[in-house]
Amino acid sequence: MRDADNAKPITRVETFGIEEIPASERHAKPLDLFRLVFGGANTFATAVLGSFPVLFGLSFQAGLMAILLGVVVGALILAPMGIFGALNGTNNAVSSSAHFGVHGRIVGSFLSLLTAVAFFSLSVWSSGDALVGGAHRLFGLPESNLTLGLAYGLFAVLVLAVCIYGFRFMLWVNKIAVVSASALFLLGIFAFAGAFDFDYAGSISMDDAGFWASFLGAALIAMSNPVSFGAFLGDWSRYIPRETSKLGIMGAVFGAQIATLIPFIFGLATATIVAVQAPQYVEQNNYVGGLLSISPAWYFLPVCLLAVIGGMSTGTTALYGTGLDMSSMFPRVLSRVRATMLIGLAAIAFIFIGRFVADLVQSVSTFAVLIVTCTTPWIVIMIIGLLDRRGFYDSHDLQVFTRGERGGRYWFSNGWNWRAMIAWIPSAAVGLCFVNLPGQFVGPFGESVGGIDISLPLTMGMACVLYLLLLRVFPEPAEVFGPKGALWSRTRNSR
């Protein structure tokens, strides 16, 4: 089995870490990036996110508007993050050295690590539950801790194997996932069309006091899906040649997120049917169980296939980036393969403990939203820096941390750019204070705006204002800018 672009076998273990990918090895296209991003989100985990408007009591029409708002805004925020990998040939955490400093880049590494483990766990849990539940209805397989454990273990081991082989194998998996999972979701139209009610009213109307809190909460959860990819895009776009159109890269990222409306709307529509035919599952926040209870018998096999395909595609896109980032943090100790194995084993342990010991499924979903609240201001700072530097980066000096050296353009103050850090830390902290996820996590000021969750817009706005102000009042050294100079900020001589 070979990669169509350069005739190299996809089962050859990828040897590149986070060092700059040579131009001769960068054969990916924006379409490949589209497949990876869309494939990683075209799963049951995204369908579960699509069910949240119904769980919040919204009507189908209000839920649809909330999802459209969240996905479109999130996709617009995410799109520029695909450019860094093509510019620098490395992942986004390493690229963040240019703005956070040689040592400050570990902020991006830890954010991507925590996000990947959380979303990987949610994907394995939802896919494993769907596979076992579908097999129970189809073949009478018992739904026990043993069968669930075997399903989780199967997904985790398969994902770990694909991630160890690397980018080409992962791209092949997602090429299959994009087409097959989309077809299976669309097949659901025939499975549920007869029971679907476009006028499903929900339990909260627009005149109710809690409507806008529920609407914005659902929109922010939908927005969290594209935003969660911010730290990972460079893991895949680093294989795209530098001269590739930047608009083409951003278009691929934006289009991939818009395509996720397929699983989002599938989750929303089927959740309305569950709410009518099996409301006990909505009360238990058990969308997957409710979906299986309302599915016609002939759709059980597609559900099982969706579980397998979805678990593989989401798991690989999350875990691959995690291993890559961990190897970048400890380059002298861990290769990409070793780091992937280490994080994979830790994630597997986390999955089993969370499912069978601590029952952390709901807590992890909260954890993921909190991570996104911290990731968003990091993304804002990166995009502002990209524009201000006019896309100029020194790929050699970005790798100072990897080589275990000191100095370079991005050394700033002992390896930290305090401008970006001061903009990020309070913005993330304030955002966390205004999170309002009823029944899961409510920050100290979460109820202060009529129960409306304003955490993401607040943290984004604060990061933008603080960073622009700091760049203006405390100019960065002139050498971090290219020959054209800064776009809007002032500069100073470093000596």
Band the pLDDT of 355: cuts 50, 70, 90: low
Mean pLDDT of 335-343: 72
What pTM was estimated for this model as a whole? Answer: 0.83
Q: Phi and psi (nearest 5°) for 43?
A: -140, 180
As separate numbers, helices (DSSP H) first and strands (DSSP E) second, the chain gives: 23, 4
Using CB atoms within 10 A of its CB, is residue 442 exposed (0-12), middle (13-18) or buried (19+)? middle
pLDDT tens digits, one per residue of 48-68: 889 989 988 899 999 999 999
- Of 80-94, 209-223, 340-354, the one with minimum mean pLDDT is 340-354
Instruction: Output the pLDDT for position 32.
Output: 87
Cα dist. 469→299, 379, 472 in Å?
Answer: 56, 17, 5
Instruction: Output the pLDDT for position 354.
Output: 67
Instruction: Output the pLDDT for position 65.
Output: 96
Most confident of 74-83, 103-112, 308-317, 352-361: 74-83
For CA atoms 87, 93, 99, 104, give the dihedral sign: negative
Mean pLDDT of 115-125: 74
Q: How many residues does the chain have?
A: 495
pLDDT at 359 over 80: no
Q: Euclidean distance between the first and final Cα of the chain, in Å? A: 55
Q: Phi and psi (nearest 5°) for 491?
A: -130, 165
C-alpha span between 382 and 96 (Å, rounded): 7
The answer to whether 478 touches 494, Cβ cutoff 8 Å, is yes
- Of 242-251, 285-294, 451-460, the one with minimum mean pLDDT is 285-294
pLDDT tens digits, one per residue of 408-427: 999 999 999 999 999 999 99
Strands (E), 314-457: 436-437, 441-442
Using CB atoms within 10 A of its CB, is residue 3 exposed (0-12), middle (13-18) or buried (19+)? middle
